Structures are given as C-alpha cells and as structure tokens.
A and B are shown apart, each in its own frame.
Chain A
Amino acid sequence: MGFFTDSTLCIGCKACEVACKQWNQLPDDGFRLTGMSYDNTGHLGASTWRHVAFVERESPLPGQGSPRDGVEAGARAFEPLRPLGQAGTTSPLADDVSPSHIETPVALGPTAQAMGKFSWLMLSDVCKHCERAGCLEACPTGAIIRTEFGSVYVQPDVCNGCGYCVSACPFGVVDRRADDGRAWKCTLCYDRLEGGMVPACAKACPTASIQFGPIDELRERAAHRVEQLRARGVPQARLYGESAASQPGTAGLRAFFLLCDEPEVYNLPPDPVVPTKKIADSWWAMAAGIAGLGLAAVGVVLSARRAA
C-alpha cells in the first residue's frame, strides 16, 4: 500500500495536515507564518507528518491562472468557470475580477502582466516510506520496522532517541521530538490501516490529490495522469520516485509524487540515495586505515626493540 500525491490537483487547503494532526493527536506548530508564501509549517517534523509546500512562481503553468490573465491563457480559457446558463457574474466582487475579461481580454497593465506570469505549485509532502529506507537501515535498535502494509514505522516504545535515523533520511523527514528525544514521523496511519480504513490525509483530501491504495494500481493511475497532463499541454509533468528504475537510490518510494517542475523546487532531492548503499566504501577505507594503524604500532615497537 502507498500514497500517490498528485501535486496538480492540490489546492493547498491543508485539510491533510489538519486531518493528520487530528487523527494522530499531534500538537500544533503555532500560527506563525514563515515569511515566504502561505506555508506556515515549513517542513516535515516530529509533530508535522504532512506538510503542504506552496511554491510561488513567476512562470505560467497551462491551466492555471486568474481570470485576469485571459490574454495568456486564451479567450475561452475560463469558460468553465462561469456558472452554466448565466451571462454575467453574481459576485459582489464583479468590479474587481470582472469576468468580462474572459470574453474580451484587455491588457490591464502591471496586474495582468504579473498575473500572466504567475503560477502556484502546491505539494502535500509526507514520509516517502522508501522501499530501501535510510532510517530503517540506520536504526541501531531495530525500532524502525517495515509493516505488513509495506510502510516504514517507528515503534515509539523501542526508539531510544539516538537520532541516527534523522541524519540517515535523505529526504529530511524523520525528526526528533524536543521533549523526550524520540524519533517521530508519518506512520501511514498504521492504526487506521489495521482497522481497514484509509489514512486520514487521503480521506480528508477534497481534490483526490492524495490517493491511497495498492502501489501497482497507483503507478498505473499515475502514468495515466502524466499522459493526460502532457496531452493537455503540461509537458513538465513528471513522476518522482514511482519505481526502482526511476529512483535507484531508494529502490523506489511507496509515497511517490507527480510534479510539475524540478524536484528541488519542492525541496525534494533530485537523486537521493539511502546512505547504507554507499557505506561499503567506508568500511573498506576503515579496514585499510586501521590496518595501517596496527602496522604502525607494531612497527614502532619493533624498531624501538631493535634500537634497544
């Protein structure tokens, strides 16, 4: 089982963040804005297991925009926005976002230009439940296990708070809690899955941006969606981490994503790798180093004996 998070459907409503907090009874993170976009949580952490990233861009994305940039998107681009069978607007804000622009696009000066060059990318980020998980392989206590659903789960009663997993996760997901020092992250709602329910975030997502299900089915759906988007003129649409072939460093992700830009834009690493995959190099280097150290010790002792 896993997640497919389709960022093109995300409207940034944060229902997933809230649902996750409610179900898992996580404390809030305060109500301060980070000072950039509408993101007030900023990153995944011990008390934030879903995080919605808001990327404000100065480049347009087909299918996204405001009624004001009718020029850019074409005269009929926002036809579907108008209520059926209704000629004019019913909005009291009609003067501000006059829908007449939809039919007869006119240049509106700086605003139109700014809006025309503007798009939002939103992405509900989560623990990736990697097929090869850095956190799991690094954990010295065996606190992190793979569940029968294929997810990666930290057993709070075993974790000893060494924090090794925190640095071993190539996505910066798992975090140590300030009060008792143990590591916490998304559990893929293990308790809900046990009860035959879907994870709280997927349940709450009003746009089906978060889809939960058997991983193969999700992959098929994702491939279909990418095709659909490309056909609609979004050539940037791509999947992130959907299979071992596309992300060999983690052998694929159980929570993969559909993106419309480079992964870096969403704070995702472009080519992550589970650190243990590289660690044989280190062990060999260490073997050489300590062999040298041992030889040096023996050598100086022997040479001193010769001198004595």
Chain B
Amino acid sequence: MKTLLERREAARDGRNVDPGLGTLAGEGAEQRVRRLDAGHSERRVMAPPEPELEGRPSYYGMPLLKEPVWKWFIPAYFYVGGVSGASAVLGAASDLLGPRGTRALSRRCRLTAAAGAGASAALLIADLGRPARFLNMLRVFRPTSPMNVGTWILSGFGAATAAAAGAALLPVGPGARRAGDAAAAVAGLCGLGLTGYTGVLIANTAVPLWQGTRRALPVLFSCSGAAAATALLELFPPGDRSEPVVRRFGVLANVSELVMTGVLEAEAGVVPRVARPLRTGISGALWRAGQALSLASLALTLGSRGRRSLRRAAGLCGTAGSLALRFAIYQAGRRSALDPHASFEQQRRGRGAADVVRAQPGLDRALGEKGAEPPATPTLHDPGLAHP
C-alpha cells in the first residue's frame, strides 16, 4: 500500500516507475513525463507519399532534423532589431553629417533605437524564459556562436542607445550632449552589426533553407531592417527638413530589399527542394506578400510627391512587408527542416560538406583517396564476440 505522498509523487511524475524502488538522481531524473498522447505530434508521423520522391530513400519520410524551437518572438525580434539597428545608423549619420534642421530626425532615430533595443531584449528574454538566462549568454565570449556575438552586440547597442537617447531627452549641458553624440556614433556602429547578425545567426544552422542561403540572408536582413526603419519614420514623420533624407534612404532600402529577395530565391533555388517552402504553402504566400508589400511601399514612396496620406500608406506597406518577409523566412526554414529530402538532396548535390572541402584542397585529397584505400588490415579477434 502506497502512502498518499507516494501516490501523489507518482501522479506528479507520471513515469512508470515506483518511487519506492529507488531515488531518482540520474542525469535526466527531473524530467517529467509529457502527456503521453499529446507527445506524438502529427508531423512526426509518416509524411504523405509524393510521386516525385519515388525511389529516393528516406526513413519513412520522418524528419531528419529537429524543427527550430523558436516561437514568434524570434522573427519579431529580427524585425525589431533591424528597425532599431538601422534607425541608429541613420541617426548617427545625420548627427555627424546631417544638414542643419534635421535635429528632429536624429532625435527620433535615437529614441526608436533605444526603444527597439529594450524591446529586443524583452523579446529575447521572453523566448528564453527568464532574465538570468540572458545574462548567462554573457558569461563567455565565443566567436563561433553568432548568437553569443549577437548578444554582445545587442548589449553594447543597448547601452549606447540608452546613453544617446538620454542625452537627447534630458536637458543636459554641452559636455553631456557631446558624450551623447559619441554614444550615438557607437550605437550606429553596433546598429550595423545588429541589422545583419541575425541573418548570420540563422544561417549557422543545419536548417537546409537557412544554410543554403547563408550569403543572401545577412544582406537581406540589413536591407530589410533599413526599409522597416524608414517605413516607421514615414508613419510618424519627424516633420522637419529631414524629409528628403528619409525618402531617399527609404527608396534605396526598398530597392535593395527587393533585389535581395530575388538573390535569396536564386541562392536557395540551386536545389529546388530547398527553395520549395518559399514557393508553396503559408510560408510561400507570406514570402510573396512580403515582396508585393515592399514593392507597393516603393511605388507609393516614389509616387507620393510629399502627400502625407500616400507616405503613410507607404510606411504601412513597408512595415507589413518587412514583417512578412521575416516571418516567411522563419516559417520556410521550419518547413525545410522538417523535410528530410531537402537536406539529403542539398548534400547529395555537393552542398553539404563537399562545399567546404572543395575550398580546401588538402581535405579533398583525403576524400578522394578514401574510395581507393583498402580498409586497414586488422589483426583482431572476431568483433562479434569481443565486447568490453
């Protein structure tokens, strides 16, 4: 007869062991059982048969990779980080070199950047679960991990934008104002990194789409960040002589964003299976919508001729387009991770390790010899019987 405590314990744990038989102290001991029926999600079950896959081996169509675990916080963070990073860049440029009468622009940029840095940190923490985990990332500096590098960039960016925004908001003396200007310049530099590193971050994964577009992604994210930042400025115009600055920056950003979406499609399209999520399904629809909205934003900006309502509309389209593109890339990446054939095909087409090996002739030779080389002649006992 179990005590009430034991029964409660067993119920809480849910695993099929009697806690009376021993204490749970092993590596995974604190792991709780998930609800057994909820544990198997639909997508883990056999993929529906596809005629074009006839004859191509896979393990019952089961996913090879784990789906990225990130929730909507992360693509949202990509957007917010891009906006605030690009704002800091534009703000720093107009601070340092701007024509007179654009004080309001740089002020607006500083505030956007600082608010964005705060929101970015909040989104990251929301994804991690608690603030201490954000600090955990700063316990090492690890150049092989773009996420670690990015956390450092974001931290520096946050401090610099806070100082710059503080100097712009508070009635401070000339010394502090100069310090604020210096902080804004630093924020501009960090902001450059902030717009682009997120692209490097997701490219540094095994997700076939992201790995396969590793050159286009960081550039697209930078351009799209700039487009999103100007879209926001169009929505809430600073209203001084900065108008041409914002407009031109917006046109440049929009054009390059559109060009980069094409480049990304081409880079992914080398292996059609990898590019498939960009063409089909919800992710494909989002991707096309992002492109269309970006194009609309460009057309509206060019056609607005200073009309407020059209500029507002351009701002709206630009914001929505930039968001759509990021969510599209995120969603398409998830789908490509769940498709084992995307990985298989990419690697069979020489875009796995062979890609890197080609660039390093020494390794190539090692690879080439492998086929010819007979297995080392062993002097061993029957491995079937030998067991340590």
Contact = CB atoms under 8 A, between A and B. Distances in A.
Interface stretch (A68-76, A96-104, A154-162): A154-162
Given A47-B31, A273-B353, A289-B222, A134 B384 contact: no
Interface stretch (A86-94, A107-115, A173-181): A173-181
A267 interface: yes
30 contacts: A25-B28, A34-B46, A36-B45, A138-B205, A140-B140, A160-B128, A162-B137, A162-B147, A163-B68, A163-B69, A166-B69, A169-B66, A175-B66, A191-B27, A211-B386, A213-B388, A245-B366, A245-B370, A272-B347, A273-B353, A279-B200, A285-B215, A292-B222, A292-B256, A296-B252, A300-B245, A301-B94, A301-B102, A304-B245, A308-B241
A9 to B, nearest CB: 6
Most chain B CB within a 10 A radius of its CB, from A141, A219, A307: A141
Q: List the 3 closest pairs (A to B, CB-CB), nearest first.
A: A249-B353, A271-B352, A30-B36
Contacts of B245: 300-301, 304
B192 A220 contact: no
Contact of B244 (A277, A293, A307): A307
Interface string B5-36: 00000000111110000001111111111101
Interface of A: 6, 9, 23-32, 34-37, 42-43, 46-47, 53, 55, 134, 137-142, 156, 158, 160-164, 166-181, 184, 187, 190-191, 198, 202, 207-208, 211-213, 219-228, 244-250, 261-262, 264-273, 275-279, 281-283, 285-286, 288-290, 292-294, 296-305, 307-308
Contacts of A265: 57-59
Contact of B204 (A32, A35, A275): A275
B200 A162 contact: no
B273 to A, nearest CB: 13
Chain B interface size, under 10 / 10 to 19 / 20 to 34 / 35 or more: 35 or more
B64 interface: yes
Contacts, number: 376
Given A158-B136, A245-B369, A42 B376 contact: no
Given A140-B140, A247-B353, A308-B99, 12 more contacts: A28-B33, A138-B205, A141-B139, A167-B65, A173-B66, A179-B31, A184-B28, A190-B27, A250-B353, A264-B344, A279-B146, A294-B192
Nearest to A39: B60
Contacts of A36: 45-46, 60
B178 interface: no
A169 B145 CA distance: 13
Nearest to B260: A289
Contacts of A278: 203, 211, 214, 355-356
Contact of A249 (B146, B223, B356): B356
Interface of B: 13-17, 24-34, 36-37, 39-40, 44-46, 56-60, 62-66, 68-70, 86, 89-90, 92-94, 97-102, 127-129, 133-134, 136-137, 139-140, 142, 144-148, 151, 188, 192-193, 195-197, 199-200, 202-207, 211, 214-219, 221-223, 225-226, 241-242, 244-245, 248-249, 252-253, 256, 337, 340, 343-344, 347-348, 350, 352-357, 363, 366-367, 369-370, 375-376, 378, 380, 383-388
Contact of A293 (B98, B144, B226): B226
